[in-house]
Amino acid sequence: MEKERAIITVNGVDHPGIIATITNVLADMDINIEDLSQTVLQDLFTMIMIVDLKGADIIELQDKLSKTGAKQGVRITVQHENIFKYMHRV
């Protein structure tokens, strides 16, 4: 069975709780994180995650993470892996 994955990106001003809040949303939806990279440059936070949707509703995920991002003061985007690869092909 082929995995259905999504790419989640997070950008904003760094502060405690960003990762915890986002990963709690994913855990509540039974979504597994396959890879994660995050960095803080001065006070700017950036994170990219690859997650296995495992049948989860990507629209529901986008909605929940959009609300989470608004509360955290960060911008969160969710793209299906196929769309992400298409948009970033060389």
CA pair distance 15, 85, nearest whole angstrom: 30
pTM over cut 0.85 = yes
Q: Domains along the chain?
A: 5-87 (3.30.70.260)
For tokens 């259905």, what's the residue? 4
Three-state DSSP class for residue 35: strand
What pLDDT score does 80 carry?
A: 86
What pLDDT score does 81 carry?
A: 76
Lowest mean pLDDT among 2-6, 14-18, 55-59: 2-6
Alpha helices in 1-90 (DSSP H): 18-28, 58-72, 81-87
User: Mean pLDDT across the stretch 78-90?
Assistant: 70
Question: Structure tokens of 58?
Answer: 């990507």
